[in-house]
Amino acid sequence: MTPPSLEHIAFGLGIVGFGCFAWPILQRLNGKVPAEAPGSGKSLRSPLWWAGFVLTIAAIFLQRIASQQAAGL
């Protein structure tokens, strides 16, 4: 794949990842998800949060690969 196409894929993954990552936080701020009692052991780290985290990390690595390929051209 060419570096520009890798950068576009990385950008798309970054947007989707950030959306998944931020959605539970936005739900909590809007009051749609009740807050847990302090020390309950629950947190904002839902499966959607983890999916966003992984997608964002994948986007960062893909962007680094694209920049290394562009430097080698």
Query: Is 16's pLDDT higher than 90?
Result: yes
As a whole number of angstroms, the distance between CA 44 and CA 50 comes to 10
Give the number of other Cβ atoms within 10 Å of residue 29's Cβ: 10
**Residue 45 has which token pair?**
């780290």
Share of the chain above pLDDT 90, in %: 33
pLDDT recorded at residue 1: 79
**pLDDT digit string, tens, across residues 47-71:** 888 888 899 999 999 999 989 988 8
- Please provide the average confidence, as pLDDT, over all residues in the chain: 82
Higher pLDDT pick, 43 / 46: 46
Torsion of CA 34, 37, 39, 45, to 10 degrees: 0
pLDDT recorded at residue 38: 54
**Residue 67 has which token pair?**
């920049």
As a whole number of angstroms, the distance between CA 20 and CA 13 comes to 10
